[in-house]
Structure formats: C-alpha cells, structure tokens
C-alpha cells in the first residue's frame, strides 16, 4: 500500500479477496479496476464493497485514507475473527470508530490453553477411533509392488498427531495489554478514525511496534501462525521450510 500511494495512486477497493498470496508466500494487492490516480478527480465512481468503505466515500471523497480505513477493517476482521456487517447498527458504529461490538484484538488468558496438532487444528479432548489409531506408535503391515513382485514387511508408523511447539515465553507487552499504546486494538482504532485526516499514513503503520516485531521474525511475507503470539522461540530456531504457513 505504501508503494501504491507513493506512486500516485489510490486503490479504493481493498478487501481480502483482492489480496493474493503467491507460492513463494509473497502478498500481492490485486484488482485495480476502481483505482484512481491521486488526487482523484471529482465525480469518479469508486465505491467498493460496503463492508470496507470509509464514511467519507459515501460523501464522494476519495483519498488515501480510504485505503487505510479498509486495511484497518481487514485487520479487525482477521484478528477479531468476525464477519463484517454491510449495514445496520454495527456498520454505523464502525464508521464512527466504535469497536465495542468486536471482541478485543489483543490476547487474553481466557483464550489460551488450546492444544493444536502440527497443522494448527485444535486437538479434541477425546480423540476418535481413527485419530487414536494414527496417534500411537504401532506396527502395520505394508505391501509394496516392485518389479511385479509383492514384498511384505513390518514398518513402524509415524506419530501423525504430535503436539505443536509451545508459545512465546515472554511475549511483548503490546500483545497482552489492550491498553498499551501499540496494542492492535489502538492501532486499528487509529486506522478507522471517522476523520480521514486523523488516520495514519502507510509509512506510519510500518513504524508501529507490532509490524517491526513481525519483520524481525517472519519467514515469508504472507506467513500465518496459529497460536496466541505467533511462532515460539524454539520454532524459529528450527531449520524448517515455510513452517506453519
């Protein structure tokens, strides 16, 4: 987004469907069908999906802060695990910078303690019969066809349901304190301010503590981690390719 804005354009239709991920794990912003050169000419029609449009768009004001507003709602939607409204009271609240209908975007002890397998899926307390058959070390008979000869043998099956590595031992304060000035709740509230002039620039967002912290730890531009605070320290120490992507 910083590159788009500094190149003299505004996107005006930023939403998850228009953010692509390459096989190399690189993010690409797509669909410039509503994009405009900056500053936008009066009278253009570039009203994107109602879930992500800023309040000024409804008044025909198209500028860079509209892209920041849309990105803020994408972050709110992702971190809060909510479906954004396209109308109604909650829709109006978000346009007024009111996030009271959305759960906190900051980690809390009430949501911790979920055990997950190596793929990120939650582990049930009581595994099914099929899960149990895969989660223990058992001898199984295999049949291999090679050169038209049938060979049988005994192999030891792998544990297919091993638990993931633990969480961060000392998470940064901005991750666990919603009142921290760099907490995601505050950053998103800044991005969806009702007054476009109060919203940050793309360069301001890149300077936030959370972005800088992730920049030092990520392995790809589009890495998604299932966990309270992202990858544990020991996970980062492993020499694994695209882990948890």
Active-site residue set: 13
Distance CA 12, CA 46 (A): 6
For 174-224, the DSSP string reads HHH-TTSTTSHHHHHHHHT-SSGGGSPPHHHHHTSHHHHHHHTT-SSTT--
Task: Give the DSSP H/E element, type plus range, for residue 94.
Answer: helix 88-95
Give the pair of three-digit tokens for residue 74: 């994408």
Q: Omega of the bond prior to 199 within 30 degrees of 0, cis?
A: no
Q: Would you state the torsion angle of the CA atoms of residues 239, 241, 243, 245, taken in this order, to the nearest 10 degrees?
A: 160
């Amino acid at each position: 987004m910083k590159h788009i804005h500094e190149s003299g354009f505004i996107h005006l239709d930023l939403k998850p469907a228009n953010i692509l991920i390459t096989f190399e794990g690189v993010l690409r912003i797509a669909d410039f069908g509503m994009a405009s050169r900056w500053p936008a000419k009066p009278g253009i029609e570039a009203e994107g999906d109602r879930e992500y449009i800023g309040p000024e768009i409804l008044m025909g004001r198209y500028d860079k802060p509209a892209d920041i507003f849309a990105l803020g709602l994408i972050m709110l939607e992702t971190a809060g695990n909510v479906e954004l409204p396209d109308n109604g009271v909650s829709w109006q609240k978000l346009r007024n910078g009111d996030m009271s209908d959305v759960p906190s975007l900051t980690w809390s002890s009430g949501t911790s303690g979920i055990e997950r397998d190596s793929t990120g899926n939650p582990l049930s307390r009581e595994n099914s019969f099929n899960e149990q058959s895969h989660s223990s070390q058992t001898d199984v008979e295999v049949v291999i066809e090679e050169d038209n000869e049938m060979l049988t043998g005994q192999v030891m099956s792998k544990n297919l349901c091993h638990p993931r590595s633990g969480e961060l031992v000392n998470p940064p304060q901005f991750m666990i304190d919603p009142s921290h000035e760099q907490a995601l709740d505050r950053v998103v509230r800044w991005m969806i301010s009702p007054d476009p002039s109060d919203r940050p620039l793309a360069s301001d967002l890149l300077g936030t503590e959370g972005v800088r912290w992730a920049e030092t730890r990520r392995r790809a531009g589009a890495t998604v981690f299932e966990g309270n605070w992202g990858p544990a320290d020991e996970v980062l120490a492993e020499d694994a390719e695209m882990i948890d992507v």
